[in-house]
Amino acid sequence: MANIPVAVQMYTLREECEKDFIGTLEKVAEIGYQGVEFAGYYGLLAKDLKKVIDQLGLKAVSSHIPLDSLQEDLLSVIAYQREIGSNKIVCPFIAPEQRTEEGYSELIRSLNDIGQECSKEGITLSYHNHDFELERLRNGKTALETILDETNPEWVKAEFDIYWLTRAGEDPVEWMRRYQDRTPLVHLKDMTTDGEKVFAELGTGGVDLNAVLNQGNASNVEWWIVEQDRCNRSPLESIEISMNYFLSKHS
């Protein structure tokens, strides 16, 4: 765990970014995060964003890019990643109307095609799960298993989301073990222990984070990424609480 760096998914801070993107990045660096995973660039050119994160000592870990942008404008996406110093792209979500047997088959074809092109350019493509991919298909497997088993492991990796796996009744560590060479990025989230099972700051809920963190090196995790989709306090406070959880592990 000690040698795996920690980033934050900027979607957590989307409202702050809308008001002051650069100022928000400055606060992320002040809190102690080593990297960021982008969910939009708020109008900044790649060269300007690169200058900002370099000055702040932040690493551009990866970017969440909508599937339609990956399908329609992949070369521009790759060029932007290269300029900001990132070699990872993540497909973050598919729309409800795509979550059918046929939709998943189309997704698998697209991910293979996109992943192959990314691989040629030295970029790694990953797929980020929610809980709906844990529903079973006609083949008896979950949609997430089907996506990972039917894509080329050299072209398509997984960005497992610990919260969504846990909420779906799955054991995140088992998934990390099963696909241990395909998990360069892992989304860390905690979950409240009440009936609501909502997002929580790391160390304040019921997810077995220690087991996940202890599996990191064996599964070749390159970055832990903190994300909290919704916060009951200031998102900046939330990500600081989560970072303090990591710091407490090393104190």
**pLDDT (0 to 100) of residue 54:** 98
How far is Cα 50 from Cα 30, in angstroms, rounded to an integer?
18
The pair phi, psi for residue 223, each rounded to 5°, is -145, 135
Check: pTM over 0.75? Answer yes or no: yes
**pLDDT (0 to 100) of residue 9:** 98
Q: What is the DSSP string of 42-74?
A: TT--HHHHHHHHHHHT-EEEEEE--HHHHHH-H
Residue 105 neighbours by CB under 8 Å, 6+ apart: none
**pLDDT (0 to 100) of residue 106:** 98
Instruction: Give me the tens of pLDDT residue by residue for the chain, a chain 251 residues long.
Output: 558 999 999 999 999 999 999 999 999 999 999 999 999 999 999 999 999 999 999 999 999 999 999 999 999 999 999 999 999 999 999 999 999 999 999 999 999 999 999 999 999 999 999 999 999 999 999 999 999 999 999 999 999 999 999 999 999 999 999 999 999 999 999 999 998 999 999 999 999 999 999 999 999 999 999 999 999 999 999 999 999 999 888 65
